[in-house]
Amino acid sequence: MANTKSAEKRHRQAEKRRASNKAAKSRLKSSLKTARAGVAGTKGDAAKDIVTGGYSDIDKAAKKGVIKKNTANRYKSRLAKASKAAAQ
């Protein structure tokens, strides 16, 4: 356990950040799962709306630092690819 006041504070801060990051990551995973399922189950403009919502959640996670920028771009690319395949 922490021996100094500053170390105790850092521990408290780390716990808060860990909880926040975990919640954000969980929210992102749920959103991606919903988007992937939605894209697979729909066609046309409805799939585009689902993809747009997925993009938004991915960008928010990247902005908060939950995932890296390249990871966000990879997720978006794969989602767009799935949407395009479902449209055909």
pLDDT digits (tens, 9 = 90+) for 42-88: 777 777 888 888 999 999 999 999 999 999 999 999 999 988 888 77
pLDDT digits (tens, 9 = 90+) for 28-40: 999 999 999 988 8
Q: What pLDDT score was predicted for residue 88?
A: 72
- Which pTM value belongs to this model? 0.82
By CB neighbour count within 10 A (0-12 exposed, 13-18 middle, 19+ buried), where does 47 fall? buried
Report whether pLDDT(4) > 80.
yes
Residue ranges of domains in the chain: 27-87
